[in-house]
Structure 1
Amino acid sequence: MSRLDSMLRRLTAQRDGLSWAAQQIADTPGDVLDMGLGNGRTYDHLREILPDRRIWVMDRVLQCHPSCIPPAEDFLQGEAEPMLSELVKRGARIALAHYDFGSGIKADDVKESARLSPMIAAAMQPGALIISGQPLVGFQQIAGPETIAPDRYLFYRA
C-alpha cells in the first residue's frame, strides 16, 4: 500500500470512528478531549459533530489553521503529562477522547501512548470512549465500526 493510500485509509477511519463514537456517547454527559491539535482538522470535525460539547484540546504548540483555533480557555499548550494533570485539576470529566500524539516512529509512539495511558485514564469518566491511532494500556478494547479495519484505528472504553 502506498503512503498516500495509507494516509487516506487512516483519515477515513479517523472520521468514521469519531462520528461513530459521537453517536455512542449521545446520552453520556461529559466533555471531549482532542490530544494532538496539529492542523486542526480533527478538532474542526469534532466541533461539527458535537456542537454542544466542550472540546478540550492539547498540543505542544498552537500551529493549526486559523479557522481551527480553539478558545483559549479550552486549549492546553505544553507537554502531555502536565497538560493531562491540568485537565484533571480543572475538573474536566471526559466522555470521549481522541488520542493523536505521535512522531511517526512507531516504537517511540507505542512507548509514549503506554506511558500516558494512566494519565489519560485519570481524566476519563467511567464508560467513556477513547479513539486512538496508537495502542493504549489499562482500557477495555472494544470493536468500533465494521467499516474500519481492526488494525487501522483502536477503540477503547474507560
Structure 2
Amino acid sequence: MSRLDSMLRRLTAQRDGLNWAAEQIAKLDGDVLDMGLGNGRTYDHLREILASRRIWVIDRVLQCHPSCVPPEKDFLQGEARPMLELLAAENRRIALAHYDFGFGVKEKDVAEAAALSPEIARVMAPGGIIVSGQPLSGFQELDGPAGIPPGRYMFYRAVD
C-alpha cells in the first residue's frame, strides 16, 4: 500500500471513529479533550461535530493552522502529564478524548501512551469514550465503528 493510501485510510478511520464516538456520548455529561493538536485538523472536526461542548487541547507547542487555534483558556501548553494533572485537580470530566501524542517512533509512542493511561483515566467521565492512535491500558476495549481495520485506531470506554 502506498504511503498516500495509508494516510487516507488513517484519516478516514480517525474521522469515522470520532463521529462514532460523538454519537456514543450524546447523553453523557462532560467536556472533550484533544491530546495532540498538531496542525489542528482533528480539533477543527471536533468543534464542528461537538459544538456545544467545551474542547480542551493539550500540546507541547502551538503550531496549528491559524483557523484552528483553540481559545487561550482551553489550550493547555506543556507536557501531557502536568496538563492532565491540572484538569484532574480542577475536577474536569471528559466525555470524549482523542489521543494523538507521538514522537514517530512506535516503541516510544506505545510506552508514552501506557505511561499516560492512568492520568487520562483520572479525568474521564464514567462511560466516556477514548479514540486513540496508540494502545492504552486500564480501559474497556471497544470494537468501534464498522469498517475500521483492527489496529488502525483503537476505541476505549472509561470504567467506573
Give matches, 1:52-63, under 5 Å.
52-63=52-63
With the length of structure 2 as denominator, give the TM-score of the two structures. 0.97
1:85 aligned onto 2:85: yes
Amino acid at match of 1:4: L
Provide the aligned C-alpha RMSD in A: 0.6
Structure 1: segments with no counterpart, 5+ residues: none
> For residue 100 of structure 2, what is the aligned residue in structure 1?
100
Partner of 1:40: 40
User: C-alpha displacement at 1:121, in angstroms?
Assistant: 0.3
Task: Spell out, residue by residue over 1:84-135, the C-alpha distance to the aligned partner (whole angstroms, 9 max, x if none).
Answer: 1011122210000000000111111000000000000000011100000000
Q: TM-score, normalised by structure 1?
A: 0.98
Tell me how far apart the structure 2 counterparts of residues 2 and 104 of structure 1 sit (CA, whole Å). 18
SS state at 1:108 partner: helix
Aligned partner of 1:145 in structure 2 is 145
Q: Does 2:120 match 1:117?
A: no
Q: Read off the aligned partner of 2:38 and give its amino acid letter.
A: G
Q: CA shift at 1:5, angstroms?
A: 1.2
CA distance in 2, matches of 1:102, 1:5: 21
Q: Give the Cα separation in 1 of the matches to 2:120 and 2:25.
A: 18
Give the counterpart letter for 2:45 in structure 1: H
Does 88-97 or 131-140 show the bigger shift? 88-97
Which amino acid counterpart does residue 37 of structure 1 have in structure 2? L
What does 1:63-74 correspond to in 2, within 5 Å? 63-74=63-74
Unaligned runs of at least 5 residues, structure 2: none
Cα distance in 2 between the residues matched to 1:36 and 1:146: 25
CA distance in 1 between partners of 2:6 and 2:102 (Å): 16
Paired residue type of 1:16: D
2: CA distance between counterparts of 1:138 and 1:24?
19
- In structure 1, distance between residues paired with 2:64 and 2:92: 23
